[in-house]
Chains A and B, each alone.
Chain A
Amino acid sequence: MNKTAAKITESVFFNRSLLRMTGVSIVIGLVSFIILLSGKHPERAWQAYLTNFLFWSSVAQGGLLFSAVMQVARGRWGRSLTGPAEALAGFFPVSFLLYLILFLGYKQVFPWRYMELGEKAAWLNLPGLFARDTAGFLILYGLGFIYLYHSWAFRLNRKTDAGKTREYLNRLWNSRSVDPDRFRARMTLFAVLYIIAYAVILSLIAYDLIMALDPHWYSALFGAYHFVKAFYMALGVLIILASILHMNPQIPFALRPSQFHDLGKLFFAFCLVWADFFYCQFMVIWYGNISEETAYVIARTMASPWRPMAWLVFIVSFGIPFLILLNRKIKSNPKWMSLLSALVLLGLWLEHTLLIGPSLNPHVHTLQLGIFDGLIFVGFIGLMTLVVASVLHVLPELAESRISEGS
């Protein structure tokens, strides 16, 4: 069966049309980024860039989290979904690269450079920020890869000789033989470590790259809000990815309706948690009414020009999915679910813009969102697709569901 799998992959994941599509969209994205950059408001370009960078990095980080959690909680039902989830982690190196590029726009990205910070300068200064965030990304992604290294050791078929990566990995594994149990135990350990790092470092990123853009505002829950949201998005992407693989007859990947149903329930659950974490912050700030806190929230939810966008986000990413997901049948329907997820993701992408936009363009009277932002988004979609496709191309086993599991 692996042989066939190997044969099929050639055409499924990595065919010309897909290359063409992704390539084109990437070029479009790049071009529109450059156009914005060369315009009067380069910060607009960086706003879009930061938004997408955070958005897709979160998806990748959350994706791997799914696998890690399944490993730790021994959730068997999701075992066959961990493959695609891990495929998302292929975005890690790209994400890190994008992160480095981000600092080219430091003039626009960090408005606090021009503000009076007092003591805070000890935390908000470019070198310090670059150092700690770089370290953070390296640790997170490093742990991620060590975990993958263990996970794939069980998942991948050692014999197939497709590509250098495989051979390299095989050599690694064959170099020293550890007994599977200890190896599995270590895998679990690194899963735990990754989960911890996920929480800590995503919070750090949230503080440094989103919250600190308005250095006077702070909300203790913001970090947690960010990484919960990240997982919510990852689940959305995972649903789409799984559905695509599931619906493509050529791919040996199929899920029982119950598995989709469970995935749907998880998606639903995190839709609620995300909303809850939003409300927890909003309620406290609304009730306390301390200007230091309210100004930030009001600018994004109650004052023009951003207000309508806030409502859109609320409806698209919470209202609609909440009402729809109450229904049991839809959860186990891949088509509908992917559609819904796409919608939610769109909303959450807007939500990122909503958080970043007002900070980067203070006192504006028009919505800082245009066609180019959309095109840049498209570009990043292409990028992500390409990455995932190539990962699956190299490691087709990730797209194999073990029907045997569960009963």
Chain B
Amino acid sequence: MADDRTIMGIFSDEETTLSAVRALKETPWSIENVMSPIPSREIADELSTKPSRVGYFTLAGGIIGFFTGFALSAYTALQWQLVVSGKPIVALVPFFIVGFEFTILFAVFGNVVGLILKMKLPDYRGLADHDSRCTGACFCVVAVCPVSDEQKLLNFLKNSGADTRILS
């Protein structure tokens, strides 16, 4: 949107960031993004982001894995039906371990897949207007305002303790 300005405010610590975010929410301007070196429950709450749904992938993976494990071991055992130590051909007691290991493995795969899909990584476009301080000591708030309000927003951010940077 050509008539919009995206401005990044860079704060030195979590508290000021937090108050800034709170204040910003009162303003007409929208918060596009917040970047932080560490995860912050508080900021997340402020931005009222929904809890992640990665868990569903994990769960799905786990369930699939559990049955895959049993299925594989049962299938291989049934091919020749060799009796070993007089144990049943399809012996659920030991096969449980196979099922278990597969559960964990697939759950983790699910977890990773979910993570990749949800975080949309790898994605290097975000680095274009990324400020290196955001991964260091600083919290960055990216706000959007009409071109007209640019100065207002800049002042606002400065007043709330940030040094600012115009991204676009």
Contacts and interface: CB of A to CB of B under 8 A. Distances in A.
Interface of A: 279, 282-283, 286-287, 289, 326
B70 to A, nearest CB: 16
A225 to B, nearest CB: 17
Given A283-B94, A289-B86, 8 more contacts: A279-B96, A282-B93, A283-B93, A283-B97, A286-B93, A287-B93, A287-B94, A289-B85
Interface of B: 59, 85-86, 93-94, 96-97
Interface of chain B, main secondary structure? helix
Contacts of A286: 93
Sorted nearest first, the 6 A-B pairs with minimum C-beta distance are: A286-B93, A283-B93, A287-B94, A282-B93, A283-B94, A289-B85
A280 to B, nearest CB: 11
A287 B85 CA distance: 9
Contacts of A289: 85-86
B29 to A, nearest CB: 31
Contacts of A279: 96
Nearest to B96: A279
A307 B94 CA distance: 20
Nearest to B62: A326
Contacts of B94: 283, 287
Nearest to A288: B85
A283 B59 CA distance: 26
A86 B85 CA distance: 51
Contacts of B96: 279
A332 to B, nearest CB: 14
A286 B85 CA distance: 12
Contacts of A287: 93-94
A162 B37 CA distance: 54
11 contacts: A279-B96, A282-B93, A283-B93, A283-B94, A283-B97, A286-B93, A287-B93, A287-B94, A289-B85, A289-B86, A326-B59
Nearest to A279: B96
B113 to A, nearest CB: 20
A326 B86 CA distance: 37
A287 B84 CA distance: 11
B73 to A, nearest CB: 15
A268 B2 CA distance: 54
A279 B96 CA distance: 10
A279 B99 CA distance: 14
A210 B85 CA distance: 31
Nearest to A328: B55
A333 to B, nearest CB: 17
B99 to A, nearest CB: 12
Contacts of B59: 326
Contacts of B93: 282-283, 286-287
Contacts of A282: 93
Contacts of A326: 59
B58 to A, nearest CB: 11
Contacts of B86: 289
A231 B112 CA distance: 35
A289 B86 CA distance: 10
Nearest to B59: A326
Contacts of B97: 283
A314 to B, nearest CB: 13
B93 to A, nearest CB: 5
A282 B85 CA distance: 17
Nearest to B100: A279
A279 B95 CA distance: 13
B3 to A, nearest CB: 44
Nearest to A286: B93
A5 to B, nearest CB: 33
B91 to A, nearest CB: 9
Nearest to B55: A328
B2 to A, nearest CB: 45
